Structure 1
């Protein structure tokens, strides 16, 4: 077709030259301008299209799942907090009302208990006073044997007296022999050791008497119990080769004065009891001056006589 195309000639500067029209060259796909490539890339990015679109969608799905779980957990926590707070308010509102209603009852019970304690205190004091007044009289003794035959007991008692050992017989079938009296067992052990081979066997025990009968426990009996305990303690201490201080002798003298000032009822057992205590005191005071051991044994003998009279007035406690 080019051969059939007419050529146009022009004269330029006296020369003829063919007149041609240059057609624009078609650009190869490989020769696409960079600015167009950038524009296309921008268009792709703006439209959200990319080669890694499936992986992005997976990540978005996972994030959506985690977001949903987080939202459900947050919602559960919020609901739990709201429920707990509401329950707490309900409990706090109910408890004060219950306490308010129960307060008068508690106050009434407290006042009643206070009144009860107040009313019982005088009674308790009276009981303590009565116990201090009627406390059982208890003394320790040295027992030198128990005999079923009264004659055998009397013969043995006579033998002990010949050895200057104080002794009395108490009871009937059996008959017991008592050879010493003291405030406690420990001091009596020292006294028992001094008798040595003169006594077959000894046994130290305590005697407690039921002296709660106020009709029998007169003022002279009560004062005599105090003086008796004092003299029994002093005489056994001296028999154990120990000393007695001056203030103890003074206290003993005061106890005797109070005892001697008490009236004596017309009762033979009480009279024997009072007489034996007085004789024991006189023998003990004489020992303070003469320092003779026979006077201490005399004191013990009279105390045993007073104890035998006391046992006829008040029975032993079971």
Structure 2
């Protein structure tokens, strides 16, 4: 605010006037523009005609005004320097940020260029030298020529049969033994075909006609059984093979006018033949049929044959029982035939041979219900 200094007057054009000094406000902000200079203010004429006190006061006022102006200029210079410094710092920070961004953009490009150079160098390492191609070509030609020469020499040299080495012979023997063992295992799984021979005394249209014919045969003392229904056949004897029944057939022809010796074969793949007791019954049946047919033909039996028959019967007895009624009837008929033969061994009664044959024919009739014969 403007203040008037008391007791200070200025002589202007011979007229004394009070002098006013404008000081800056408390906030150090001048009320007048900073560009205001002392020359713009009204000047005071300090002549010699004024009093000495007034001249002294005028000089002191001018000195104060100069100091004030110098302080203002110093403040403005300091402010301008600080503003320039702040602007310089800001520009420097912006320049540094711009450089960082530029570095970030440039680094990946340089890395990509380096990677590309490394890849090119790696590919160049795998390239073959120029002279390597000619070497490979020469080696390939030499290999082809050598193979052709070798094949030609092999054709010219006569082939000689090489003798097998001991190791090869041993391997062959082991292989053959393995094949034989495998064959034995297969046979144990799949039963051997079962076959017997019978004497047939005719074939009839049905069981009634066959039963009437069977009564006349029974009356003649010949064992007989009816097999089948339509047609029905009459069997009067059983043996292991046709040759063993020829003598029996000649003996029965006196009582039976028409007879025929035939062989019956049964399929090995039949389900009933997978049973252990049925297979053991087949073994016993074959031994008893052969022995009884030989005894009926007037031939004797050795002790070994009787022992084999006894062993086969003991094996059948050790078999597990079955709930199948047909199998039980088959096994029961076999046991009765064995008992008749054992009794014949003790008594030598020929009627026991006929009874044994009758039981074997009954067992055959039941067996054919389990395993039909091949056509």
TM-score interval for Structure 1 and Structure 2 normalised by the shorter chain: 0.5 to 0.7
From 130, 136, 147, the counterpart of 2:186: 130
Q: Which position in structure 1 is the counterpart of 2:360?
A: 303
Paired with 1:310 and 1:126, the residues of 2 have a C-alpha distance of: 30
From 212, 216, 235, the counterpart of 1:159: 216
Q: How big is the shift at 1:159?
A: 1.2
Q: Which position in structure 1 is the counterpart of 2:95?
A: none
Aligned-pair RMSD on alpha carbons? Answer: 2.9
Paired with 1:123 and 1:241, the residues of 2 have a C-alpha distance of: 44
Deviations, residues 126-177 of structure 1 (Å, cap 9, x unaligned): 3453336411110000000000132221011111112221111111211000
Deviations, residues 5-62 of structure 1 (Å, cap 9, x unaligned): xxxxxxxxxxxxxxxxxxxxxxxxxxxxxxxxxxxxxxxxxxxxxxxxxxxxxxxxxx
Paired with 1:224 and 1:309, the residues of 2 have a C-alpha distance of: 12
Per the normalisation by structure 2, the TM-score is 0.52
From 328, 332, 337, the counterpart of 1:275: 332
Q: Which position in structure 2 is the counterpart of 1:28?
A: none
Where in structure 2 are there 5+ consecutive unaligned residues?
Answer: 1-145, 156-170
Q: Which position in structure 2 is the counterpart of 1:314?
A: 371
Where in structure 1 are there 5+ consecutive unaligned residues?
Answer: 1-89, 100-114
Paired with 1:175 and 1:282, the residues of 2 have a C-alpha distance of: 29
Q: Which position in structure 1 is the counterpart of 2:94?
A: none
Say whether residues 1:186 and 2:243 are aligned partners: yes
SS in 2 for 1:197: coil
User: In terms of mean alpha carbon deviation, does 207-216 or 300-309 score higher?
Assistant: 207-216
Paired with 1:216 and 1:254, the residues of 2 have a C-alpha distance of: 21
Cα distance 1:184–1:286, how it changes in 2: closer, same or farther (>3 A)? same
Q: Is the 8 A contact 2:224 2:235 kept in 1?
A: yes
Q: Which position in structure 1 is the counterpart of 2:296?
A: 239
Q: Which position in structure 1 is the counterpart of 2:52?
A: none
Paired with 1:224 and 1:197, the residues of 2 have a C-alpha distance of: 32
Q: How big is the shift at 1:125?
A: 4.3
Q: Which position in structure 2 is the counterpart of 1:142?
A: 199
Q: How big is the shift at 1:288?
A: 0.6
Cα distance 1:118–1:288, how it changes in 2: closer, same or farther (>3 A)? closer
Cα distance 1:298–1:126, how it changes in 2: closer, same or farther (>3 A)? same
Q: Is the 8 A contact 1:280 1:303 kept in 2?
A: yes
Q: How big is the shift at 1:304?
A: 0.6
SS in 2 for 1:164: coil
SS in 2 for 1:179: strand
Per the normalisation by structure 1, the TM-score is 0.61
Cα distance 1:265–1:171, how it changes in 2: closer, same or farther (>3 A)? same
Q: Which position in structure 1 is the counterpart of 2:305?
A: 248
Cα distance 1:276–1:174, how it changes in 2: closer, same or farther (>3 A)? same
Say whether residues 1:219 and 2:219 are aligned partners: no
Q: Which position in structure 1 is the counterpart of 2:151?
A: 95
Q: How big is the shift at 1:95?
A: 3.3
By relative contact order (CA 8 Å, sep 6+), the higher-ranking structure is 1
The count of aligned residue pairs is: 214
SS in 2 for 1:153: helix
Q: Larger Cα Rg: Structure 1 or Structure 2? A: 2
Say whether residues 1:229 and 2:306 are aligned partners: no
Q: Which position in structure 1 is the counterpart of 2:351?
A: 294
